[in-house]
Structures are given as C-alpha cells and as structure tokens.
C-alpha cells in the first residue's frame, strides 16, 4: 500500500484506514497558516519541512461557533463533539487512496463541505472517504476559512490588496484544488481527471468555482448537491453575492463592534474574540459574510454564469432532498394570492391559478415549491440550449428517514448515503437504507470516473439507467426507500414554473 509519498513541500506518511487496503493522509498543509499578517489575505505558499511528516490525524477545524452544544438536528446528527480542536491555523486537506503505487492515475474527487460559509469541517464523520476509495476513487477533502475570517470585506482591504480583497475561503478552496492538480499524482491520482463536489454551501462553492474563469482546466466535472436555487416568486437575495461596496459596509460595522479602526489593529485581535463578536452581530441579523462580488474571484451571480454558458462547462450532477428549502407566496387569503400571481406571472396568472398546487396553503404561505429543484432544473435546461451541451444529471432524494424526530428528508441527510457512511449514524437505519447508500455511492463514483453515473455497482450489478435531464427528455433519478428509480418529470406545475 502507498503509505509514504512526496508532496511539493516534503514527505508525508499516511495511516491505514479501517480497511487496511486504504491509506488515509490527514492534515496535509496546502498553504501557509492564515494568521498574523496572513489573516484576511489570499492563501500564501506552504513552507517546506524536513524528514517525514506523519499525517495521522485531522487538523484543527476553522474558527467557528463551537460544535455540538445545541439541540438542533445537526448537533444530534454529526456536530457532536464540542471538544474538537479549533484554530485559525486551518489550511489543511486530507487524502484517501487505495493506490499501491504512484503511477495508477485513479480518478479524483475534491470535496468542499457545507455549512452556510459559517460552520463545517472536513473531519465531520459523514465525510469519511474510505468507501469511495474502495471503489477506486482518490478522495480529497479541503478545509477553508469561514465567517468573518473567511469572507470579510472592508474598504481598507480593497485599497491595500485589490487583487484579493475578500472571498478568502473561496480562494482557500481554489488553492486546495491547485495543490491537488500539482500533487495528486504522487497519491496515485490522475491530475487530468478531477471532479469538484460539494453540498449546501459546499455546492454553492462548486457553483462559484465553476463561474471563475481562472479555474478552466483544473477539473473535468462537477457535483452540486442542494446548492443551486431559484424561486418563481420573490428573488431570494441570500443566494446572490453582495457587491464589494455593500459587503464592505458590513465590514466597517464589524470593525466598529470590535473596537478597532485599522486593518493592522484588527489583524492583532484574538481570533476567538472576532468569532464571538461576529456571532453576536450575525445572530442579531446584522450581517452574514459569504461570497462577495469582488470583480476578481467572483464577478456576479454564479447561477447566471451557469445559465449563459460563461462557466467552466463540464458535465454536472445535481439535485436536492425532498423536504428542503421551500419557497412560498406570502399571502393571507385567496384574494391576496390572486394579486401575487398577477405580480409574478402577468398574463400567465390565470394559468398558474388553475393548478391545484397554487392553492395549497401552509403556515408559511401558498404554493410551496422546492427552490433547489427549480434551481437545478432551470440551470440544466439553459445548459441544454447552448451549443455542445454538457450532460447534466438530476436527482431527488426521498426515502424514509427513521428516528423519533420524524425528520423527513431534511437538508444534508443525503450525505450519509452519497459517502456510504450511514453505519456511523445514530439513526436506526435498516437494510434498505444500506442498499440505497451503496447504490447512490456507486452512481456518484461512476460519475466521478467518467462523467456518466451509469454502469455497474460495486457488486457487479448493472445500475438502473440514469439519463441526462434535457428539454426533450426531463429524466430524473429518484432515490427512494426501494432504491434508485428512474422517472420522467410528470409534475405539470413544476413544468409551468420552469417555462
């Protein structure tokens, strides 16, 4: 097994995974620590080391709210350890490989975790790359800076470092991807066969990386899980990057709250003090730092780049869970619903109101629809209208999820299945769930290998056919309690909203 190998900065030693045919290299530095003068700068080159660096343990997680101290579903699901090490020195990545030598050229997946750009880490237990590595994939999970330390914008930053004024977490991801391109051959990976993948904010990160022209040639396909959003009603500004000027005003407010006037003063503050003060403002609804339209890394709405073809155009797999991120018409009665329909749909309002689904009323409003489903499908349809359209595969995750909390298919629950790690989950999953997880992981690995999810599962059985989603063939793959079920879009209401 490939237990010791070289990186551009020095030799690393990995550790046998639970399956000793897999080697895990944990905590490999890919950039200099972003501390001191490197705080709020683009990631700087990593220093070299002498001898062999033991990469046996995950590095500390990025500075964020302490995990595992709440009672929400995510603290119960995987953010379970409030004692997990945390540090501003966090730019490390992890590699799982089943290669026996450096020259095997296995397909590579680079994973960006989610968490609203505020929370999350590569050592979350659902992100164990071992099951993918068993299937011949070299798995890389990249850490990045979060919250105010990762996505602060401020006029002083814009003036002093105009080439990289913000989006430091996104630049960390990009630096990790470039490290993979330069180094992954030494782990048995193919630098010319890389897939970038992520879920939630990680999926949004993949979308943003696709929209950055500088990334052309660094990856050959992409997976966006629950990370593309569209509403047929009001535009949800949360998903659209703020302007540099607008985000900079939030940075000025943060500096005021921190009690500093200059960037030099702010760089000398304790990272945990910044975390606590930023969390206070964020929890009061005053600010929420995410990707900014800085005119450098990001030049607009990444969804627009997907739809007009200016993105890095590669095959894409994308989809959503059944119960996440609904959009509604906010109306108190049928009269207000009619007024809203006329506002949103104009001369198509009567056609909209003829649908039974338009009159479904919930505590949040009328006509609930899935924002990620519409986002993925609308993007895929626009791709299909371009010259030389790239294959795009849509999925919907809708199996039963057990547990006393009766959670439904909540946002992020599909991660256990794509990584085939549900054996680590505390929920009382049964045989059908394990079968589905194995099948979903097989589809994902096939896509990572070739850009096509079809083929055979790990046991040699032919998988049900998953066709690309196109205007002429609205093919879907539903992941259900009975396994993968190919379907065709039959929801006329969704078709209407996609026109």
Is residue 476 pLDDT above 90, yes or no?
A: yes
Position 383 in a domain: no
SS3 sequence of the chain: CCCEEEECCEEEECEECCCCCCEEEEEEECCCCCCHHHCCCCCCCCCCCCCEEECCCCCCECCCCCCCCCCCHHHHHCCCCCCCCECCCCCEEEEEECCCCCCCCEEEEEEECCCCCCCCCCCCHHHCCHHHHHCCCEEEEECCCCHHHHHCCCHHHHHHCCCCCCCHHHHHHHHHHHHHHHHHHHHCEEEEEEEEEEECHHHHHHHHHHHCHHHCCCCCEEEEECCCCCCCCCCCHHHCCEEHHHHHHHHHHHHHHHCCCCHHHHHCCCHHHHHHHHHHHHHCCCCCCCCEECCCCCCCCHHHHHHHCCCCCCCEEEEEECCCCEEEECCCCHHHHHHHHHHHHHHHHHHHHCCHHHHCEECCEEEEEEHHHHHHHHHHHHHHCCCCCCCEEEEEECCCCCCCCCCCCCCCCCHHHHCCCHHHCCCCCCHHHHHHHHHHHHHHHHHHHHCCCCCECCCCCECCCCCCECCCCEEEEEEECCEEEEEECCCHHHHHHCC
* Nearest C-alpha neighbor of 452 from the set 397, 396, 398, 390: 390
Q: Per-residue pLDDT tens for 379-401?
A: 999 999 999 999 999 999 999 99
Domain assignment of residue 147, given as a range: 4-314
Position 364 in a domain: no
> Tokens 């769930």 appear where?
433
Let me know: does 39 contact 88? Beta carbons within 8 Å: yes
* 471 φ, ψ (degrees, to nearest 5): -65, -35
Q: Per-residue pLDDT tens for 69-107?
A: 988 999 999 999 999 999 999 999 999 999 999 999 999
Task: Locate 291 and state its tokens.
Answer: 């990707």
Would the pTM of this model clear 0.85, i.e. be above it?
yes
Report d(CA 309, CA 139) in Å as an integer. 28
The pLDDT value recorded for residue 266 is 98
Position 216 in a domain: yes
The pLDDT value recorded for residue 147 is 98
The pLDDT value recorded for residue 223 is 98
**Could you tell me how many residues make up the chain?**
499
Q: Per-residue pLDDT tens for 246-297?
A: 999 999 999 999 999 999 999 999 999 999 999 999 999 999 999 999 999 9
Segment 298-326 shows an average pLDDT of 96
Position 250 in a domain: yes
Position 106 in a domain: yes
Position 435 in a domain: no
Q: How many structural domains comprise the chain?
A: 1
Position 186 in a domain: yes
* CATH number, position 293: 3.40.50.1820
Position 471 in a domain: no
Report d(CA 436, CA 90) in Å as an integer. 34
């Amino acid at each position: 097994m490939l237990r010791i190998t070289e990186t551009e900065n020095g030799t690393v030693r990995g550790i046998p995974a639970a399956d000793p045919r897999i080697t895990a290299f944990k905590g490999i530095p890919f950039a200099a620590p972003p501390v001191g003068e490197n705080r709020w700068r683009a990631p700087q080159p990593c220093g070299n080391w002498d001898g062999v660096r033991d990469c046996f343990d995950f590095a500390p997680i990025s500075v964020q709210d302490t995990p595992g101290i709440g009672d929400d579903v995510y603290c119960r699901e995987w953010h379970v350890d409030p004692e997990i090490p945390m540090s501003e020195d966090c730019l490390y990545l992890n590699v799982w490989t089943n290669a026996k030598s450096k020259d095997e050229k296995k397909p590579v997946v680079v994973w960006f975790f989610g968490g609203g750009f505020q929370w999350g880490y590569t050592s979350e237990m659902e992100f164990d790359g071992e099951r993918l590595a068993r299937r011949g994939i070299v798995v890389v999970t990249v850490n990045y800076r979060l919250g105010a330390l990762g996505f602060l914008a401020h006029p002083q930053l814009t003036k002093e470092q105009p080439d990289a004024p913000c989006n430091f977490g996104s630049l960390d991801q990009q630096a990790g991807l470039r490290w993979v391109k330069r180094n992954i051959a030494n782990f048995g990976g193919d630098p010319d066969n890389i897939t970038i993948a992520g879920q939630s904010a990680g999926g949004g990160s993949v979308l943003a990386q696709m929209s950055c022209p500088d990334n052309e040639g660094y990856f050959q396909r992409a997976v966006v899980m629950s990370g593309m959003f569209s509403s047929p009603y009001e535009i949800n500004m949360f998903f659209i990057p703020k302007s540099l000027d607008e985000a900079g005003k939030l940075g000025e407010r943060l500096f005021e709250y921190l009690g500093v006037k200059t960037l030099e003063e702010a760089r000398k503050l304790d990272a945990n003090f910044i975390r606590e003060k930023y969390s206070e403002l964020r929890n009061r609804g005053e600010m929420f730092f995410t990707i900014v339209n800085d005119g450098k890394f990001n030049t607009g709405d990444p969804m627009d780049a997907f739809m007009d073809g200016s993105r890095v155009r590669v095959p894409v797999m994308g989809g959503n869970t059944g119960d996440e991120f609904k959009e509604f018409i906010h109306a108190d009665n049928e009269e207000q619903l009619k007024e809203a329909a006329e506002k949103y749909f104009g001369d198509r309002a009567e056609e909209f109101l003829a649908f039974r689904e338009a009159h479904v009323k919930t505590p949040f409003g009328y006509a609930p629809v899935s924002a990620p489903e519409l986002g993925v499908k609308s993007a895929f349809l626009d791709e299909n209208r371009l010259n030389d359209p790239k294959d795009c595969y849509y999925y919907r995750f809708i199996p039963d999820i057990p547990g006393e909390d009766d959670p439904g298919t909540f946002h992020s629950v599909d991660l256990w299945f794509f990584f085939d790690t549900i054996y680590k989950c505390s929920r009382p999953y049964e045989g059908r769930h394990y079968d589905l997880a194995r099948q979903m992981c097989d589809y994902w690995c096939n896509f990572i290998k070739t850009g096509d999810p079809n083929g055979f599962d790990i046991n040699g059985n032919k998988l049900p056919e998953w066709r690309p989603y196109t205007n002429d063939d609205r093919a879907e793959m539903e992941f259900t309690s009975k396994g993968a079920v190919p379907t065709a879009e039959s929801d006329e209401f969704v078709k209407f909203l996609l026109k």
